[in-house]
Amino acid sequence: MSARIVSEDWKRAVADEDRASRFFNVETDAADEGPVVARRATGLPYKNQPHPKDPWLICQGNRLASVEGPVSFVIESYYAKRTTPTGSGSNEGNPLDFRPVIRQTWMEIIEPLDYGLENLNPLSQKLLANSAGDPFDPPATETIYVPVSVVIRPEPTWTLAKALQYNDRLNSDTVFGCPPGTLWLRCEGEQQWSGDWPYWSVTYQLAYLSYVLDGKKIGWQRRFLDQGFRRVVQSGSTVSRVPIKDLGGGDTTVPRKLDGQGRPLAEGAPAVWILRYTKWGVPFGPLRLPL
């Protein structure tokens, strides 16, 4: 014996602040025990499942609303709003009143290293070069330890849409005193229960990156070495790109470093890096994180 949901009758749905009902058209293959089988149809809301439009309306059960035919029935799923948790663990209280957990940690990233300090003074930044004054090629790299603020807090719901909106994004606003493009966010949610009261434990990780390179303040821009096989040639208003020649007059087979304007870089000159964001920016302010 089986039953299937044909459709949900949204026109019959009712809801207020404390109660709600949803109605489902169900068909079964058992005429004798149809009402019993219909109440067990796969896909019907289960007991203690939150209402899709209000996570604090909790399903109390399913009951027969009407008989439409020998094997056709309307099942009502009825909801009530929790004011206090019940059942085991009922002394835990309203989960939205739980205090958020805040901690500080670190993450590691690897960055190209073309400047160093002559001493411990941060103002003594100088191009890294060998004893002949030439920059290292390829440039050295260094592991940078980025401070991360972690916030874990209860929320009434967590959706895929919200995860897609904020996960792996950069701040487009100034928030917590951090300029745009200096905070990277990772977030994830896990459904939990306080007694039979469902809620989501959501974890936010904010990684801060900001440093000065060659007089420029850099956040989460990625650095790309400006190099290639062609150079930019401009004649009047006409701009063309032509192959770079090697010492023998042939097209170079080794990428040449460029000066940021599409011209070959002079031998021994410091490398030029192109800075680009590779992640989208969204305002973090609406999250109202307690930092």
Place 169 in a pLDDT band, splitting at 50, 70 and 90: very high
pLDDT at site 123: 63
Q: Summarize the chain as % helix, strand, coil (round to 5).
A: 10, 50, 40
Which residues make beta-bridge pairs with 66?
74
Place 214 in a pLDDT band, splitting at 50, 70 and 90: low
pLDDT digits (tens, 9 = 90+) for 92-140: 567 877 889 999 999 998 877 766 777 666 666 676 777 766 767 777 7
pLDDT digits (tens, 9 = 90+) for 60-69: 899 999 898 8
pLDDT at site 215: 63
Is the predicted pLDDT of residue 170 greater than 90, yes or no?
A: yes
pLDDT digits (tens, 9 = 90+) for 81-92: 876 544 444 445
Q: Which of 9, 7, 72, 10 is nearest to 35 (CA)?
A: 72
pLDDT at site 222: 85
pLDDT at site 198: 81
88 or 176, higher pLDDT = 176
Query: What amino acid is encoded at 23 in this protein?
Result: F
Rg (CA), the chain: 31
Is the predicted pLDDT of residue 213 greater than 70, yes or no?
A: no
pLDDT at site 190: 93
Residue with tokens 């928030």: 175
How far is residue 97's CA from residue 82's CA, in Å, rounded to a whole number? 14
Section 197-203 average pLDDT: 89
pLDDT at site 15: 83
CB half-sphere exposure, 18, CA atoms < 13 A: 2
pLDDT at site 89: 42
Q: What are phi and psi of 111, to 5 degrees?
A: -120, 150
pLDDT at site 88: 42
pLDDT at site 90: 42
Place 164 in a pLDDT band, splitting at 50, 70 and 90: very high
Is the predicted pLDDT of residue 21 greater than 60, yes or no?
A: yes
Place 163 in a pLDDT band, splitting at 50, 70 and 90: very high
How far is residue 178's CA from residue 21's CA, in Å, rounded to a whole number? 46
The whole-chain average pLDDT of the chain stands at 85
